[in-house]
Amino acid sequence: MLTFFTTAKAFEGHSGVIQKNALQSWKRLHPEVEVILFGDDAGAAEVSVALGLRHEAHVERHPSGMKYLNYMFGRAQSIAQHACLCYCNCDIILMTDFWKAFEKEAGRREQFLMIGRRWDTDITEPIDFGDEAWAAKVRKAALITNVLQATHFVDFFVFRKGLYDEVPPMVVGRSYWDHWLVWKALNRGARVVDATRFMMAVHQNHGYGYHPQGKRGTNEDELARRNIELAGGRQHLRTLIHSTHRITRDGRIRGTPFRKLFENDRVLGWRQTAVEKTFPIRDRPGLRRQHLARLWTKLNFQFLRTGIAD
């Protein structure tokens, strides 16, 4: 069984809408799912009562007010009801394909980390979870938008207690702590499993108005640089291309020993250049990007109808 833990911004405006959407989607995965919400942010106590969450109002913070990752990971592993945990950003909607992926990994004895890419989608209203088709509608919206983020965006981390026995005092709300979590799992010899092909994690798009420099600031400011330093430098940062295994679309688990050789930024850059240089050739048989995008969307809709769906 699984315990989620997370932290949130104030439950106000659009942030409040998408955070409640995410939390409710997790609660519906299984009757025994536990969700721990850290922080005394506005509305957190009320939402915890309304949704049946465990509220941990206290969380240690950097002088800037940003929350420390190490406190949440340490506290969650000590109080969680279940042996497996998932730290998930509080804007991610998860559906039953996530649960099926989790069951595949949790059934193994060895230590593991399950991660995956996210699908960015505009969701501005509360989801009607009383509608039996809510998950199919969310999935369809994500497929229409068709924005599967790059491999360096990691938003959920499923692991067994004890994997993260020591975590540096990095802060969430800035970059690079997620990449350190992947490195740490690899460094401890855990299986790092990419579930992207088997499941869909839907990221509800939002702004970065909380930082004067927007998204760029969360990657480059003093706190972001501090996260890199606490991680031990960039040599201790890893992403999805460093996974040791992946779950295939049909549910098989396969090793990925050469993935980092073929999906690194340099190779992907060469592929993009090749795509751009061959526009005139591919235009004749109708293989330009927009045609391929439409074909991809059709294939994904077919997967929605015939594959692992809610």
129 and 277 in a single domain? The answer is no
> What would the pLDDT profile of 228-249 be if each residue is shown by its tens digit?
999 999 999 999 999 999 999 9
Name the residue range of residue 269's domain.
Answer: 265-306
202 and 283 in a single domain? The answer is no
115 and 194 in a single domain? The answer is yes
216 and 130 in a single domain? The answer is yes
What is the number of domains present in the chain? Answer: 2
Instruction: Write the CATH number for 84.
Output: 3.90.550
157 and 112 in a single domain? The answer is yes
Q: Sign (positive/negative) of CA torsion 25, 28, 30, 34?
A: positive
Residues of the chain with pLDDT under 70: 207-218, 260, 262-310
> What would the pLDDT profile of 65-116 be if each residue is shown by its tens digit?
999 999 999 999 999 999 999 999 999 999 999 999 999 999 887 899 999 9
223 and 276 in a single domain? The answer is no
pTM of structure: 0.84
**Sheet of strand 253-255: strand arrangement:** 54-56, 34-38, 2-7, 84-88, 156-160, 112-115, 191-194, 245-247, 253-255
255 and 274 in a single domain? The answer is no
Whole-number pLDDT of residue 267: 46
**Paired tokens of 173:** 């709300």
**Distance, CA of 9 to CA of 27 (rounded, Å):** 19
